[in-house]
Amino acid sequence: MLAGGLGGARFLHGVRALLGIEGGPGPTTEEPDGITVVGNTGDDLWLFGLKVCPDLDTIMYSLGGGLDEDRTWGRAAETFNAAEELRAYGAQPDWFGLGDRDIGTHLMRTQLLEAGYPLSAVTAALCQRWQPGVRLLPMTDDRVETHVVITDDQGRRAIHFQEWWVRLHAEVAAERFVMVGAEDATPGPGVVEAIMTADVVLLPPSNPVVSIGAIASVPGIATALRSTEAPVVGVSGLVSGAPVRGMADACLSAIGVEPRAGAVAVHYGARPAGFLDGWLVDLADAGEVDEVAAAGIACRAVPTMMTDHGAAAALVGKALDFAAELRSGQ
Ligand code: FO1
Domain boundaries, the chain: 20-31+42-138, 145-180
Give 330's pLDDT tier (boundaries 50, 70, 90).
Answer: low
Q: Is the CB of 161 under 6 A from ligand 1?
A: no
Q: Whose CA is nearest to atom 22 of ligand 1?
A: 54
Q: Which atom of ligand 1 is nearest to the CA of 98?
A: 10
Determine the distance separating the centroid of ligand 1 and the alpha carbon of 54, expressed in angstroms.
Answer: 6
Q: Which atom of ligand 1 is nearest to the CA of 211?
A: 26
Inform me whether the pLDDT recorded for 187 exceeds 60: yes
Q: Is the CB of 102 under 6 A from ligand 1?
A: yes
Q: Which pLDDT score is estimated for 288? A: 98
Give 329's pLDDT tier (boundaries 50, 70, 90).
Answer: confident
Q: Which string of b and e fits 119-135 if b means at least 16 CB within 10 Å?
A: bbbbbbebbeebbbbbb
pLDDT tens digits, residue range 13-34? Answer: 999 999 877 665 544 444 555 8
Fold of the domain built from segment(s) 20-31+42-138: Helicase, Ruva Protein; domain 3 (1.10.8)
Q: Which pLDDT score is estimated for 34? A: 87
pLDDT tens digits, residue range 145-156? Answer: 999 999 999 999
Sheet (strand 36-39) strand order? 2-3, 36-39, 135-138
Q: Is the CB of 74 under 6 A from ligand 1?
A: yes
Most informative mutation of 72, 166, 209 for ligand 1 (most atoms within 8 A of CB): 166
pLDDT tens digits, residue range 89-141? Answer: 999 999 999 999 999 999 999 999 999 999 999 999 999 999 999 999 999 99
* Residues of the chain above pLDDT 90, percent: 94
